[in-house]
Structure 1
Amino acid sequence: MASSSKKVYEVFVSKVPWTVAMKEMREYFGQFGHVKKCQIPFDKKTGFHRGFCWVGFTSEEALTNSLQKDSHVLEGARIQVQLNRRVFAGTRTNKEPEDE
């Protein structure tokens, strides 16, 4: 079993505008706490991301803070944020290296 310091608290984010990049996602969710990882799957045919992503925090407090906000708006669009209930094991993502 992994130690608690390695645990990642994840949210699943949907309805992400195609103009929003990983940098903006990390900056936006950084207001709630330290972002450990951000995964945005891309469509190989179009080159655009698929409109959803996973954001992982290093603390449960950051996760709770992000879930308690009434509405999340990025570039004028309301995005949906919910607790990630399953482990994502995709291989076709633009995944940033995780912080150590």
Structure 2
Amino acid sequence: MAAPTKKVFEIFVTRVPWTVANREIREYFGQFGTVKRCKLLFDKDTGFHKGFCWIGFATEEGLNNALKKEPHLLEGAKLQVQRNRTSFVDHRSHRDNDDD
């Protein structure tokens, strides 16, 4: 019998300004609900993040709250936010920055 999978309610965020760190993204999206995971990928050559991330909420309510808000502005930039189409587990194979 397969182990039950934990349901994670995720969004995919693009157009993240290069000046924004993991902590700021977590704090910003924390206003919509409890953030369980925040994954911001970094370029190994430049040391800068790639401008996109995944945010996992503890509840569907947090996810829906984030999707209802428009626009999302962080440090003057308009973030593009959409429901994530793939499982967060798929991203865990990357050895980039993962803040659980």
- Verify same fold: TM over 0.5: yes
CA distance in 2 between counterparts of 1:93 and 1:11 reads 18
The share of aligned pairs that are identical, in percent, is 58
CA distance in 2 between counterparts of 1:7 and 1:66 reads 17
CA distance in 2 between counterparts of 1:21 and 1:86 reads 23
Q: Tell me, which stretches of 5 or more residues in structure 1 are unaligned?
A: none
Q: Tell me, which stretches of 5 or more residues in structure 2 are unaligned?
A: none
Aligned-residue offset at 1:2: 2.4
For the Cα contact (< 8 Å) 1:35–1:58, is it kept in 2? yes
Partner of 1:39: 39
Aligned-residue offset at 1:80: 0.4
Does residue 92 in structure 1 map to residue 98 in structure 2?
A: no
Secondary structure of the corresponding residue to residue 54 of structure 2:
strand
CA distance in 1 between counterparts of 2:58 and 2:75 reads 25
Per the normalisation by structure 2, the TM-score is: 0.89
Per the normalisation by structure 1, the TM-score is: 0.89
Correspondences of 1:16-95 after superposition (within 5 Å): 16-87=16-87, 88-89=90-91, 90-95=93-98
